[in-house]
Amino acid sequence: MSKRVVITGIGMVTAVGNDTASAWQALCEGRSGAGPVASFDASGYTTRIAAEIKDFDPSLYMDRKEIRRNDRFVHYAMAASKQALADSGFEITDENGDDVGVIIGSGIGGLQTCHEQFRVLFEKGPDRISPFFITMFITDIASGVISLTLGARGPNFATVSACATGANAIGEAGEMIKRGDAIAMLAGGAEAGVTPMGLGAFGALRALSRRNDDPEGASRPFDAERDGFVLGEGAGVLMLEDEEYARKRGARIYGELVSYASTSDAYHITEPAPHGEGLARAIKRTLAKGGLNLEDVQYINAHGTATAYNDSHETQAIKSVFGDYAYKIPISSTKSMIGHTLGAAGGIETAVAALTVYYGVITPTINLAHPDPECDLDYVPLTAREAKVNVALSNSMGFGGHNAVVAVKRYVG
């Protein structure tokens, strides 16, 4: 018999707050974390804005040696993981460590480390490359370091599916608990892509907003005047547990991870399939696996990147699944406030979906001042909304045709 999976802890590092409480408050208030790039000189770039992490102190979560030996994406992952673990009240011990796992994904991995070490190679030669380069760069290392640090000896790997990474990590972790491979999993995504190469490469792809004179208004999902996404960074990690185990230890439960599905567009390397067909299949499968009716869904945290194709195709996908009921579902984009955090997006946004279910507040889509006629659903524009939400979906889509959908349900013991 399949086990039930519940969410008992949440950790977040975002451009609007370096912990869950401050990030959630800022999101509910509709604050933007975007601004001029501060971590390097971006004056020669076409896009000179980003949603950077601010005032983050990795020494709160790692010692100085470990900080030096790990990329920023690992710093963020460790912070979010330790936050989620502390929030859950779960203690990893020698007795239960074999049954606790970690799946933390990243879309790109140690991009800053890659940038710095290639410069060393070209300027000083191969003998000066850091012996830690490989272990700082590879995308699985966040999971590895977290597992090592916390003593979690259960399943341990990383998902890599571009901007669907975090959602895939959470979904696959939930599946592991359901089939009895673990009693608890730390799962989510982390990214530190605001680097010279990251900003330049996405700019070359013409994916970024060029609204340099208005950074806080630049991320405009579903708005007719949107011109691309704002590059963000951070991490979102959930503590998932076997429901019976969590209940026995008296854990606070944010919600139930009721179902998850992933699909492939098999259509184009960057553009979504026509009419969002691949995402629509993922939504349908998620509903079917969770035994959910269309009317059970009362909120959707959209992928909502503020790119022309994504927003219209996601809207079409939602309409194709829900029909007329689509117009009654509140939908919002967290990316309007924290930018597109790439591999971390699904982790942060599933966390937001869980908090929405738990607290009964739907975070807004800010900057939605001129609705696109093709995007005509209820995107909760500009201000948050109080609402009882029994089931929330979190949609994720990634380059390569990846789609992942997670359903979070109000917990009933």
Enumerate residues 6+ apart whose C-beta is below 8 A from 162: 107, 342, 343, 398, 399, 400, 402
Q: Tell me the C-alpha to C-alpha distance, in Å, between residue 293 and each of 1, 122, 150, 318, 325.
A: 22, 58, 39, 14, 11
- In terms of DSSP H, where are the helices of 228-344? 243-248, 277-289, 308-322, 335-338
| Residue 175 burial (C-beta neighbours within 10 Å; 0-12, 13-18, 19+) | middle
C-alpha 206/C-alpha 282 separation (Å) is 27
- Residue 165 CA to residue 171 CA, distance in Å, equals 10
Provide the H-helix boundaries in 89-132.
111-124
DSSP symbol at 129: S
Q: Which residue in the list 75, 303, 313, 402 is annotated as catalytic?
A: 303
**Residue 163 is among the residues annotated as catalytic for this protein:** yes
Residue 75: active-site member: no
List the one residue out of 352, 387, 364 whose CA is nearest residue 7: 352
Tokens, residue 375: 């995007």
Q: Using CB atoms within 10 A of its CB, is residue 197 exposed (0-12), middle (13-18) or buried (19+)? A: middle
Residue tagged active-site, from 75, 313, 340, 402: 340
Catalytic residue among 28, 163, 375, 402: 163
Q: What is the DSSP string of 154-189?
A: S-EE---BTBTHHHHHHHHHHHHHHTTS-SEEEEEE
303 is known as an active-site residue: yes
Catalytic residues: 163, 303, 340
